[in-house]
Amino acid sequence: MDFFRDQEIARRNTRLLTALFVLAVLLLIAVINIFLAFVLTASQTLESGDPTTFELSDLDIRLTLLVSIALIVVIGAVVLYNWIRFSQGGRCVAEALGARPACSNTENPLERRAQNVIQEIALAANMPVPPLYILDKEPGINAFAAGISPGDAVVAITQGALTQLTRDELQGVIGHEFSHILNGDMRLSIRLMAMLRGITFIGDMGALLMRSAVSHRARRSTKSSNNNTVGLLLVGLVLYLVGLLGGVMAGLIKSAISKQKEYLADASSVQFTRNPSGISDALKVIGGYTPGTLVDTARAEEMSHLFFGQVKHRLWLMFATHPPLENRIRRVDPHWNGEFITRKNNLSFPEAEATSETGMAQAQRSLAAALPSAMATEMGGIAASNQQALPATSLDQPPDDLTAAIVEEAREPLGAMSLLLALLWHENNPGKQRAAIEAAKISGLEALVVERGRELQHLKPELRLPLIELCLPTLKTLSPPQYHQFKGLLINFVKADGQIELFEWCLYQLVRHYLDPHFVKRSSSPQHAQLKAVSESLAVALGTLALLGRGDTDASFQSGLQIIGLPLVMPAAEAMGVQQFGKAIEQLANCYPLLKVTILKALIKVAEQDGQISPKELTLIKAIAAVMDCPLPNQVLHNVMLTR
Amino acid sequence: MSTTLIIFISTIAILLIWGIAIYNQLVALSNRYKNAFAQIEVQLKRRYDLIPNLVESAKGYLSHERETLAAVVEARNEAASALKAVGDSGIDSGSIKNLAGAESALGAAMGKLNVVMEAYPDLKASENMQQLSEELTSTENRVAFARQGFNDSVMSYNTYRQSFPNMIIGNAFGHREDATLLEFADSAVIQDAPSISFS
């Protein structure tokens, strides 16, 4: 599965979408105008008594123009409003749909299980854990992912999915949602949603006008106001009918763009979970479950393409946003015997995992255990592709995995803050860092940081990034003042020893990149379509990585150039400070997706020139990928290594 | 007629969109402070779970201080039911004030217990007790931190709700009341050094 190509396809689909939308608006305008002209001629006929026939040439130019402009203004305003609103991130969409955020350290066993599943898959995808939202009171089994970039993505699931699915099936469903995030479908979905809202809004307004006209009439039945009410009713009816037509067109557009993406996401889900039965069983359970995937929320219809399964019943396949269940199951499980799975009662998950306190602790431990093992398989994959084993770096260090206590701590705001600071803790020279914490005046933080700082001193380098990614979503629950306070503290912490290390840069950038959009408004769009435009930044990035390796710096740099295909010169050492490096990566982040993959390939090539990728290099590459908004799922990393 | 009608409809549409925007923001902000409360809830529950353990371990040593222990248990139960009431009835000003009151009482009772425990060095030295009080201190710090976050979000909700023209929309569509800040009166009491007489 090539996520980068899919991102590019999604981008192209956006253009197709815009074209379809313009077409739909033009069609709407034409229909309204013809209808108006028809009504006007008809009324003239009634008044004069002459039987005049309706012709297109009868269109009153001024009226037509006015109506058209008014329509465009209204549709434009609605689209713009929704666009801006939904671009603020996934949580706005989730909140609009009535979902509630699940507490990151919830004690509800079912929500806890879902949180764990999300964390595991985020790990496989190498992206920060998206916050979990719950759609309460929805018995149907469904889920959706929303957000523009991985940094502001959220995953929401219905109550039905929480209670009806087993852990494996839930994993399949959430894997499906994650691939939507990675394929760049969310940006498209959100634009689609904003545009379609513009079309359907007309119908809503018509309904509103009709309703107010009817209630107006019921209250006052004097003759003078009667004429007005009839007029209002008529206008409302016309708008409503036009809205219906718009709804039909919106349905067609949605259906055209949505279906193919669903097959793709099902396939990627199998890749994430490495377990085809997870998603296919989930689909079979849906087939055998009476509420199916239906969702009741008022606004579910307009956002139906975001969901895991069909939100409303569809009579015609033409309007369906999702392919038929049977087809989806067959694509994942070709040997399916055609039988659905029926679950009689709720809560079919194993007792041990959920209900008891020990079960929860067990789940904690399993997650803690999953972290290093996931890293290990990835490292193993890299080693295999290099056809030589990695040096046994992990053996001469004490085995300091992430303990269950640390994973637990990462779920709680104060704990997550202390863990991030502890990663930066200088055991030998704590004076200024202590002062920085004291200045922040957060009670209890200092003790936590010192304690964890000692513990994390010996953390394996390759576990640092997963730990950071585990902490980031929890910090989204801070209030804005608390976040700004924390960011200030983080900066002071990094600067405490008078110099900025590469890892410190990585951590700060990750925090800034994933949390800033949540608290501060920000927008950026790709600017660079050619590598030439960013050649200087490229040279700095490749050069820094080449310096980090153990082999011949120049040879490493040159090997990266083979992939880039540009004649770059290795910058002087003083031009490659952490600050220059930071600026360079920020510029590279503004490239188009397909360029980013070339850049990442070149970086990997440079890193492995000396025959191995050290954990330090790997962390740096992953951090760069994260800042560039294109998280590298483990298997993609693996593929890149294989196909070099 | 048609020109005025079009202007009329466009104006209504724009006003409608504006109103929807304000309403949505109100909903978002109120969801945010409710979520912030969930953070406090988790930590408070943890605190209420730890206190009976503490009392249980202290019982053996404090056989002459039954009253103090009973007061702690009672205050703990009060606070736990107040927290449950907030969960059941939603975050309204009455239930929040109840919780704040119960928490203050619990804080005072715990403060008294701490003073009493000073007199039993064996008790303080026991490993179990040290671990428990460390856990409790840490949890209390977390409560304080989560409470600050909750109060920040309540503040931003209130400010947004009270400003013009948001208050019109808010009053019309179910955002009529300010959310209540969670203030524990105990913080001052606890930080006061216990008065000890040497007579």
Helices A445-456 and B127-162 cross at an angle (nearest 10°) of: 120
Distance from CA of B84 to the nearest CA of A (A): 14
Give the CA dihedral B148, B151, B156, B160, nearest 10 degrees. Answer: 180
The pLDDT of residue A173 = 92
A480 interaction partners in chain B (CB closer than 8 Å)? 152, 156
Q: Which ranges of chain A have pLDDT less than 50?
A: 1, 347-360, 373-400, 644
Chain A interface includes B35 (CB < 8 A) = yes
Chain A interface includes B38 (CB < 8 A) = yes
A420 CB-near residues (< 8 Å, 6+ apart): A468, A471, A475, A490, A507, A511
CA distances, B2 to each of A78, A125, A227, B197 (Å): 22, 57, 15, 89
Cβ <8 Å between A85 and B21: yes
Across the interface, of A85, A105, A481, the residue whose CB is closest to B152 is A481
Per-residue tens of pLDDT for chain B, all 199 residues:
567 877 887 888 888 888 888 888 888 888 888 888 888 888 888 889 888 888 888 888 887 778 888 888 999 999 999 888 887 877 888 888 888 888 888 888 888 888 888 888 888 788 888 888 888 888 888 888 888 888 888 988 999 999 888 888 888 888 888 888 887 765 444 445 445 555 4
Q: Looking at this protein, which amino acid is placed at residue B183?
A: E
Cβ <8 Å between B5 and A445: no
Cβ <8 Å between A205 and B9: yes
- How far, in Å, CA of A249 to CA of A22, rounded? 11
B84 interaction partners in chain A (CB closer than 8 Å)? none
- How far, in Å, CA of B23 to CA of B17, rounded? 10
**Preferred mutation among B18, B145, B190 to probe A, highest tally of A CBs within 10 A:** B145
Q: Which one of A177, A409, A504, A608 is the catalytic residue?
A: A177
- How far, in Å, CA of A20 to CA of A507, rounded? 43
**A177 is known as an active-site residue:** yes
Cβ <8 Å between A412 and B42: yes
> Is A33:A64 a contact under the CB 8 Å cutoff?
yes
> Is A601:A562 a contact under the CB 8 Å cutoff?
no
> Is A33:A67 a contact under the CB 8 Å cutoff?
yes
Cβ <8 Å between A235 and B16: no
The pLDDT of residue A377 = 45
Tell me the count of A-B CB pairs closer than 8 A.
Answer: 102
**Preferred mutation among B20, B31, B133, B159 to probe A, highest tally of A CBs within 10 A:** B31
Task: Order across the sheet with A154-158: list the strands.
Answer: A100-101, A132-135, A154-158, A143-146
> Is A127:A181 a contact under the CB 8 Å cutoff?
yes
> Is B116:A445 a contact under the CB 8 Å cutoff?
no
pTM: 0.70
Cβ <8 Å between B42 and A103: yes
A70 interaction partners in chain B (CB closer than 8 Å)? 6-7, 9-10
Chain A interface includes B15 (CB < 8 A) = no
